[in-house]
Chain A
Amino acid sequence: MDKNIIDNAQDVVSRRDFFKRAATISAVTASTVLLADGADDPAIMHHVPWGQKLGDPVTANRYGVPSKYEHNNLRRNTKLLASGNFQASIAVCPIHESMGIITPNGLFFSRSHGGTAHVNPHEFRLMLHGLLEKEIVLTLDELKKYPSVTRTHFIECPANGGQEWRRPQFNSVQFAKGFMSCAEWTGVYIKDILADLGLKSEALWMLAEGSDNSEMGRTVPIDKVLDDAMIVWGQNGEALRPEQGYPVRLLLPGWEGNLCVKWLKRLKFAKDPFYAKEETSRYTDLKPTGKAIQHFYANEVNSTVVSPSPEKPWTHLNDGDIIEIEGLAWSGMGTITDVDLSFDGGINYVKANLKGLVLPKCWTRWSYMHTYKKGEQLFLTSRAIDDAGYIQPTVDQEVGIMGVEAIYHRNAVETWEVTKTGEVNHVQIRS
């Protein structure tokens, strides 16, 4: 439009006309920043609804909750992993949505043998007795008087991956590898309490017993008690969640999750092991020899690709995209030293990169940058190594010793097939 005409026109508009015109213009600008054409992104060209009204007051959530758009980031169940009800069962962690090495408390995997107990902290008592110079009973406040330590460790159910000895069954990383989570725990080393109480030399074993419906108990060798066994009450900076044994659980870094007894009430020191129910009927690994491994403690070195995964496929990628392949590695025997990645199901490997903190008996995140070729079929296999000297076996190496009836402690390499269209499938490579 000719500038002069505009100027002339504006010269003659009355005040009333000005306001009328302004109202028309603002009706347009209220919803758009500028006039847009088809190439422009409406998310940029329009004012967003949350930018044009008051948000929630800071008083809205006295205990914060995730964005409502994150409602699918959830622990999940399946009836296969339930003893008839969802009390003696497990809810697995959405590790495909995990970031870094810390699991938020609301997503930490939850396994119990008689449901989540709700312990009144005022009625909580912890008794330490048996082969001690001095037996004691502690209230929660008294327990917390001991000097605390804070450590980051994963907890893993030894049945993680245990449904897949014979072949893969879950097309899902949440179910194939999500029987675990990782958190920063705060509590006291048991050896520090024992320094005060005096452990008798003939004590070889410790019974840890919970106060829940199942009176969950496990026997722990004194070696572990005097190394890094903890009684913990803090999880990621707040009190343990009820699902994790509020107010207090045992933590045996790197060892089977079920050994880390929740809703703890009693530690008994003795010269003989206890043969608790969950160390005979469950958590034993039957070998082809007919003998079963009992007292199978440390979760061995393990890893998985998390992205891509069946939940996080590559269907959206374009040819030539440089994409990060990300995963987790962990070992209950020590610190991750290396992670290798294969694109052909374990024939050839390249070294991947470790990310962030690399801590003992802790999730370790790893990464590899890959240039995606549209239409390529890949078999992504990760393989971790720890500083205890262990490396993940192939499927056949592990099965050659353990057979396929073992259930627990399966740590053979895991493989995702990336199809030509970018879908991701859980497969197993015979080697």
Chain B
Amino acid sequence: MFKLDRKSLLSLSLVATAAIAFTACNSDAEPTGSMTVNGKATIDGAATYPVVNGKTSDYYVNESAHKPGKNYGRIPTANELKAWNTDVTPSKLPPMGSGSVEDGEELYEAQCLSCHGDFGSGGGGYPALSKGNAVDLQKTLTNNRWKDPEADGPTRVFGSYWPVASTLWWYIRDGMPHPLTKSLSVDETYALTAYVLNINEFVIDGVEVDDEYVLDQEKFSKIVMPNVDGFEPNIKGPNALEDVRAYYANAKNFGGLNLNQGAERCMTNCIDKDATQEAASASVVGEVPRVRRIIGVGISDFLPPMSTVRDLPAEDVAFDAKAAYENVCAMCHSSFLAPGSSDWDAYTGKGMDKVYENGINGTEGGMPPMGTSSFSKAEFKSVVDYLVNGK
């Protein structure tokens, strides 16, 4: 895989041998059986492959791979490019179209509310889309709970935090609604975007996005996000990469800790015990400065529960249709997206076999095949039975 010529292998082993001999007669050596290769402590002759000049690619051996002229694949057609070149960015607006807040609200209640909550307030682990007025909430971004854990934290939702609006339009069209993505039309995407702007109390070009508002491409292009300047490093313009490189060359920008070249790192008395013991809430254990502990048992709802026991597994438990329903099906079937337990008369008229068939094969614009599950057909039917009859 890597180049390592005979000569360097030989010198490595000479160094290693010398290091072993040295360690053996030096009573100050660490009692760990360690040796040294190329100046580095190793326990088994570990071979080090460094990064050279910031690049890992110096190990590259197949020089002919760089040479052009392979001509694999084919040139995409204009239609193929049009089909996939659909990103929406600040410099590439959404397609022409329009949608109203009113239509957006109707769509939202039908397809989004079950996850994102009333007026985008979130819930059940799904992201909130609004917490109120975007301009006001942007001011909370300097809140930080290190000194005072009881203080209010920052509010990071679309309106208060995201730097550009194109992200929202693009993501709604391609990634939403979560169980049935890429099902919304251009106008529907405008309508939902308008609704999200409405609940975040946006003003576009001096006009409030009220309940009567209709969003289109031109208005969309004029959205200014309250937190547009809230991000670093700069990634805009022809010098963006220089700005990015300069930013990450300074460890202080991102919380890194740089050892100055050649400087020795601290090995003894590295923490100022006196300073850290001053704090009123100090809990000092022996010589150790303040120890922060997990509150109670912490987060421990692990699935499956933590165990390192090497025993025989419990006998395979019978397939649990109720648990399967709750894990896979309930997200839609307990919401407005799909029929729940009380709606089945309209579907069972053609017999249960038809219900099974629709579930297994999927229905156009509705049920995805097998509900995207990996159940066997028999298991799937038992889940359908549970959903239709069981509750």
Contacts A227-B56, A334-B51 supplied; 15 other A-B pairs, CB < 8 Å: A82-B125, A114-B178, A127-B76, A137-B73, A146-B65, A196-B71, A275-B163, A291-B230, A292-B230, A295-B244, A347-B271, A348-B268, A350-B267, A353-B41, A427-B291
In the complex, B110 has a CB within 8 A of chain A: no
**A76: contacting residue among B62, B279, B304, CB under 8 A:** B304
B265 & A360 in contact (Cβ 8 Å cutoff): no
In the complex, A422 has a CB within 8 A of chain B: no
B253 CB to nearest A CB, Å: 8
Nearest B-chain residue to A291, judged by Cβ: B232
For A188, what are the chain B residues with a Cβ–Cβ distance below 8 Å?
65
Task: Report Cα–Cα, A214/B170, bound state, in Å.
Answer: 11
A329 CB to nearest B CB, Å: 12
Task: Report Cα–Cα, A418/B64, bound state, in Å.
Answer: 54
B61 CB to nearest A CB, Å: 8
B294 & A391 in contact (Cβ 8 Å cutoff): no
Task: Report Cα–Cα, A427/B290, bound state, in Å.
Answer: 10
B10 CB to nearest A CB, Å: 19
Please, what's the 1-or-0 string for B60-101, where 1 marks a CB less than 8 Å from any CB in chain A?
Answer: 101011111111111110001100110101110000000000
A344 & B233 in contact (Cβ 8 Å cutoff): no
Task: Tell me which residues from 167 to 206 in chain A have a Cβ below 8 Å from any Cβ of chain B.
Answer: 167-172, 174-175, 188-189, 191-192, 195-196, 198, 202, 204-205
Task: Tell me which residues from 334 to 383 in chain A have a Cβ below 8 Å from any Cβ of chain B.
Answer: 334-335, 337-338, 340, 344-361, 367-369, 371, 377, 379
Nearest A-chain residue to B64, judged by Cβ: A147
**B170: contacting residue among A195, A277, A367, CB under 8 A:** A277
A293 CB to nearest B CB, Å: 6
A147 CB to nearest B CB, Å: 4
In the complex, A80 has a CB within 8 A of chain B: yes
**B181: contacting residue among A82, A214, A349, CB under 8 A:** A214
A142 CB to nearest B CB, Å: 5
Interface segment among A18-26, A32-40, A43-51, A399-407: the answer is A399-407
For A409, what are the chain B residues with a Cβ–Cβ distance below 8 Å?
254-255
A72 & B48 in contact (Cβ 8 Å cutoff): no
Task: Report Cα–Cα, A164/B167, bound state, in Å.
Answer: 29
Nearest A-chain residue to B61, judged by Cβ: A149
Nearest B-chain residue to A139, judged by Cβ: B73
Task: Tell me which residues from 141 to 169 in chain B have a Cβ below 8 Å from any Cβ of chain A.
Answer: 141-146, 149, 153-154, 156, 158, 161-164, 166-167
Question: Taking beta carbons and an 8 Å cutoff, which residues of B are in contact with A?
Answer: 1, 30-34, 40-44, 46-51, 54-57, 60, 62, 64-76, 80-81, 84-85, 87, 89-91, 115, 124-127, 141-146, 149, 153-154, 156, 158, 161-164, 166-167, 170-171, 174-175, 178, 181-182, 230-233, 235-236, 238, 240-241, 244-245, 248, 251-261, 265-271, 273, 276, 279, 285-295, 297-304, 306-313, 327, 331, 372
- The answer to whether A223 and B304 touch (CB under 8 A), given A150-B1, A169-B294, A360-B50, is no
Tell me the total A-B contact number using a CB cutoff of 8 A. Answer: 418
For B235, what are the chain A residues with a Cβ–Cβ distance below 8 Å?
219, 273, 294-295
A: interface residue count bin: 35 or more
B56 & A361 in contact (Cβ 8 Å cutoff): yes
B255 & A402 in contact (Cβ 8 Å cutoff): yes
- The answer to whether A272 and B46 touch (CB under 8 A), given A136-B76, A138-B72, A286-B141, is no
Task: Report Cα–Cα, A171/B292, bound state, in Å.
Answer: 13
Task: Report Cα–Cα, A86/B43, bound state, in Å.
Answer: 41
- The answer to whether A275 and B232 touch (CB under 8 A), given A204-B240, A334-B50, A402-B255, is no
B125 & A346 in contact (Cβ 8 Å cutoff): no
B146 & A399 in contact (Cβ 8 Å cutoff): yes
- The answer to whether A84 and B124 touch (CB under 8 A), given A169-B299, A347-B288, is yes
Q: List 8 A-B contacts (CB under 8 A).
A: A135-B81, A189-B65, A192-B66, A204-B240, A228-B57, A275-B163, A280-B167, A286-B156
Please, what's the 1-or-0 string for A80-100, where 1 marks a CB less than 8 Å from any CB in chain B?
Answer: 101111111000000011000
A201 CB to nearest B CB, Å: 11
- The answer to whether A137 and B76 touch (CB under 8 A), given A390-B258, A430-B276, is yes
B73 & A142 in contact (Cβ 8 Å cutoff): yes
Task: Report Cα–Cα, A84/B238, bound state, in Å.
Answer: 40
Task: Tell me which residues from 28 to 83 in chain A have a Cβ below 8 Å from any Cβ of chain B.
Answer: 68-72, 74, 76-80, 82-83
For A294, what are the chain B residues with a Cβ–Cβ distance below 8 Å?
163, 231-233, 235
B66 & A351 in contact (Cβ 8 Å cutoff): no
For B372, what are the chain A residues with a Cβ–Cβ distance below 8 Å?
115
Return the 10 tightest CB-CB contacts between A and B, nearest first.
A353-B43, A84-B125, A334-B51, A290-B142, A215-B174, A430-B290, A147-B65, A358-B48, A277-B171, A138-B73
For B230, what are the chain A residues with a Cβ–Cβ distance below 8 Å?
290-292
In the complex, A213 has a CB within 8 A of chain B: yes
Task: Tell me which residues from 125 to 180 in chain A have a Cβ below 8 Å from any Cβ of chain B.
Answer: 127, 129, 134-139, 142-143, 145-147, 149-151, 163, 166-172, 174-175
Task: Give the residue among B30, B241, B291 with the most A Cβ atoms within 10 A.
Answer: B291
Nearest B-chain residue to A379, judged by Cβ: B288
B273 & A347 in contact (Cβ 8 Å cutoff): yes
B186 CB to nearest A CB, Å: 16
In the complex, A256 has a CB within 8 A of chain B: no
Task: Report Cα–Cα, A137/B83, bound state, in Å.
Answer: 13
For B291, what are the chain A residues with a Cβ–Cβ distance below 8 Å?
345, 379, 417, 427-430
- The answer to whether A167 and B73 touch (CB under 8 A), given A72-B309, A286-B156, A360-B49, is no
Task: Report Cα–Cα, A276/B50, bound state, in Å.
Answer: 33
For A427, what are the chain B residues with a Cβ–Cβ distance below 8 Å?
291-294
